[in-house]
Amino acid sequence: MKKIIILCTVLGLMVLNSGCTVRSAVDIQRPELKSKRKTKKINWSTREQMENLIGNPPGVFMVLFVDPEERQSMKSIELVSRIGKADEISLLNLREQWVLSIFQQMELESAPMLLILDPQNDDGSKDMIGYSAIKTYLTGMRQK
């Protein structure tokens, strides 16, 4: 529940302060990741879509934080698409300032990270860090 509250608060503050900028921690710490590598077309979730999702949650929902320049993140995105969960999981690009700001304010540290949020349950948030954990969770979910 704490993660849901933080996510809602951060998104609300971002709407109010939409003119502010945050320099990417990825760019500061590892500038070599700023490559011109072409990636497949990915349907990233927008800030507006996330605000609507948070404002009117459909029940349990999933958010996948990824850095499109990292291999594990791209494997996670491909997995989501391959197993048919693309419509159920919001993909957030850590190269976008508003996403990076949320990631940092929620004190998250590693990508890819899948957050499973349940606004109806105080203990209803889980997180999976890394491709292997995400794959295990999502493929196990698919088999149920």
Burial (CB count within 10 angstroms: exposed 0-12, middle 13-18, buried 19+), residue 109: exposed
pLDDT surpasses 60 at 23: no
Question: Residue 27's pLDDT band (boundaries 50, 70, 90)?
Answer: very low
Q: Is this model's pTM higher than 0.75 or not? A: no
pLDDT at 120: 78
- 124 or 78, greater pLDDT: 78
Q: Is the predicted pLDDT of residue 5 greater than 80, yes or no? A: no
Q: What is the pLDDT of residue 118?
A: 84
Here the CATH number for the domain that contains residue 63 is 3.40.30.10
- Give me the pLDDT at residue 17, please: 45
Parent domain of 69: 2-143
Q: Helix crossing, 47-55 with 2-16: angle to 10°?
A: 130
pLDDT band at 130 (very low <50, low <70, confident <90, very high): very high
Q: How many domains does the chain have?
A: 1
126 and 113 Cβ atoms separated by less than 8 Å: no
